[in-house]
A and B are shown apart, each in its own frame.
Chain A
Amino acid sequence: MLNIIVALPAEARPLLDHFRLRDKQHNTAFPIYRNTDMALIVAGPGKVAAAAATALLAGTGTSHTGAAWLNIGIAGHAHHAIGSGFIANRITDNATGTSWYPPQIHNLPIATETLHTVDRPEDDYPAAGLYEMEASGFFPVACRFSSSELVQCFKVVSDNRTQASTAVTAKLCTQLIAGKLADIEQLVNALSGMANEYAAWHAPHPDLEQLAARWHFTVSQQHQLAELARRWKVLTADQPLWLDQLQKTRSAAEVLQRLEQHLEALTASPA
């Protein structure tokens, strides 16, 4: 699952078309669009809006630990060419001075740059790096719901010292994002791939849910069951969780005991 956060409808438009995101969700504070593998939310400008939209998307029930998150938008830079695209390697909230460092573990040939999140559009670009208004709201919130390697920001330069931010129109914004769809798609694919692997690593035994529903397990027993199911998965090469043989057991405690005994028999001790 990949979640995209953008600030502006003009930024969303080419992404909706390219990734075939439909099903606008009504009755939410922010427009949400989806396909089977992706959701996009339009947050509105600013880091507070970005944080709120990120949290809302995480709470809609389709996100899970290990989903990938991507903030896409426009940004200003003193010198970079209009239309150039960058992945953030550092995000600094200029108001607080706090910085975050999205791990760069992909192998994509996309340049990276420092991001400064500011509260108002910046036209002087005093320090090196890109200037935008959402990333410092998006990144720390997204990291509450996923691992930071799966949380990234991609920005397209819309203004610089020769072309001010006042010249940025909705049409230009859409064109700039559309011009970087190839890079965005690479990043989406890389993040989605890692997220899918991450989810596969942590997939519980397929029979676990059924087993847990058949008897009443306390919270502590649920943890024990999950751990036994993990070991079962490895030691039996993913065999069914012995459901038929457990039919006659009368309690969750007895289930745990029988599973543990069977596992102990599989793990030999020295003679």
Chain B
Amino acid sequence: MFNTIYIEEQVADHPRTLDICARFSQATQVLCEHYGEVFNPKSQNFRLQKRKPALILAHKHNRRVLETPAGYGIGGTDNYYFSHMLNCLYDCRYCFLQGMYRSAHYVLYVNYEDFGHDIDAILHRKGNQPCWFFSGYDCDSLVLEPVSAFMRHFLPFFAARPAAHIEIRTKSTQIRSLLQQSPIPNAVIAFSFTPAAMHASLEHRVPNIERRLEAMQKLQVAGWRLGLRFDPLIYQDDYRQQYTRLFEQVFSQLHSDRLHSVSLGPFRLPRTYFRNIVRLYPDEPLFAGSFAASGGMISYPEEVEHEMTGFCTRELLKHVPENVLFPCMLAA
């Protein structure tokens, strides 16, 4: 899987580093002083590197657990996000990561325990009141589980902290680690979907809708709380038919009365990210349409965005009650 593994000298002897290197014993190991030497240089092309990303093993020193933007949440009032990893195995053309990062290499922070300490500090500060922690901002939470063992570490962690709720957002079908243990009540496994035609053209390497729904069914039978994330909403001329079909497909295969939450997110990117992505993929039809710029963000024109979220909200309310629907959850 990885031809090259870059290793920060600080974590060269970390148990997770040694495990991963043993797993990929054929990979060339290259030491570096700080992962930024490899990940941050300007003269890199995300699209070229996406052909063969390397793995970078590093230590996250600070800013490990951050507050989410205002308006982001699924019912909680104290919302945070954390990323044990940067970049994603998948290659979704609408993804902000390709505009935000110069490098497509995967950075895995191996010091999970420090993330845990920061979460504990927040819980202590909040007097053990319920807090939400969102995983899957800078990466897919599950797709590299066989390598990262992220769930293997954090599920017991959150199981021991009932006040700490975790959303595990994914497009992956790597659910083995979840099925191997009892579900924990403060975890929501949230799967993202776009309609089939959009998935085929925009979500490269992502398992198809049927496989993701199959994974969700297994999790639901096992008792895990599930979420659905229709995010971002992508405009095409026949989006109404596409989203109607998608919702019908999804809700025909899941017990909608047992869903934790359903959310929508409009397609929005910071202007600089959008510009970077267009430079990478100038021929991408998604970026040839009409967009509006406002407040440093690029989005569909207001009337289009309003119409799409309104339509999708009305359609979703045919399947789920209002109290589990969170329309217009701000995209990251």
Contact = CB atoms under 8 A, between A and B. Distances in A.
A146 B30 contact: no
Interface in B1-58: 3-4, 6, 28, 30-33, 37-38, 41, 43-45, 47-49, 51-52, 54
A270 B308 contact: yes
B262 to A, nearest CB: 22
Contacts of A250: none
A235 B45 contact: no
Interface in A87-137: 89-90, 99-101, 103-107, 112, 114
Given A149-B49, A230-B278, A234-B284, A103 B30 contact: no
Interface stretch (B220-228, B247-255, B299-307): B299-307
B49 A103 contact: yes
Interface stretch (B135-143, B150-158, B285-293): B285-293
B43 A146 contact: yes
Contacts of A202: 279, 282
Contacts of A220: none
A80 interface: no
B237 interface: yes
A69 B52 CA distance: 19
Contact of B52 (A104, A144, A269): A104
A34 to B, nearest CB: 25
B44 A230 contact: no
A99 to B, nearest CB: 6
B224 to A, nearest CB: 36
Nearest to A107: B52
B283 interface: yes
Contact of B37 (A101, A147, A267): A101
Contact of B283 (A105, A201, A268): A201
B49 A230 contact: no
A148 B31 CA distance: 18
B48 A230 contact: no
A198 interface: yes
B6 A149 contact: no
B248 to A, nearest CB: 20
Given A104-B4, A105-B51, A269-B301, A99 B288 contact: no
Among A106, A148, A202, which residue has the most Cβ atoms of chain B within 10 A? A148
A105 B49 contact: yes
Residues of A contacting B: mostly? mixed
Contacts of B287: 234
A211 interface: no
Contacts of B38: 101
A103 B54 contact: yes
A39 to B, nearest CB: 20
A194 interface: yes
Contacts of B51: 105
A101 B32 contact: yes
A258 interface: no
Contact of A149 (B28, B30, B44, B240): B44
A231 interface: yes
A112 B307 CA distance: 54
A208 interface: no
B3 A104 contact: yes
B111 to A, nearest CB: 22
Interface size bucket, B side?
35 or more
Nearest to A264: B290
A99 B33 contact: yes
A194 B45 CA distance: 12
A114 B284 contact: no
Contact of B303 (A104, A106, A234, A269): A269
A100 B30 CA distance: 11
A106 B51 CA distance: 8
A233 interface: yes
Given A104-B54, A105-B52, A89 B28 contact: yes
Contacts of A146: 43
Contacts of A230: 278, 282, 288
A230 B49 CA distance: 23
Interface string B59-95: 0000000000000000000000000000000000000
Given A89-B30, A101-B6, A103-B54, A147 B288 contact: no
A143 interface: yes
Contacts of B52: 104-107
A146 B288 CA distance: 26
A114 B290 contact: no
A147 B28 contact: no
A148 B284 contact: no
A64 B105 CA distance: 25
A264 B291 CA distance: 10
A269 B287 CA distance: 15
A224 B237 CA distance: 25
Which 6 pairs of residues, A with B, have the shortest CB-CB distance?
A: A234-B288, A143-B43, A147-B45, A105-B52, A149-B48, A231-B288
11 contacts: A89-B28, A89-B30, A101-B38, A104-B52, A143-B43, A148-B41, A201-B47, A233-B282, A233-B283, A234-B283, A234-B285
Interface of A: 89-90, 99-101, 103-107, 112, 114, 143-144, 146-151, 194, 198, 201-202, 230-231, 233-235, 263-264, 267-270
Given A198-B48, A269-B303, 18 more contacts: A100-B37, A100-B41, A101-B30, A103-B105, A104-B3, A104-B52, A112-B28, A143-B43, A147-B45, A148-B45, A230-B288, A234-B282, A234-B284, A234-B285, A235-B285, A235-B288, A269-B301, A270-B303
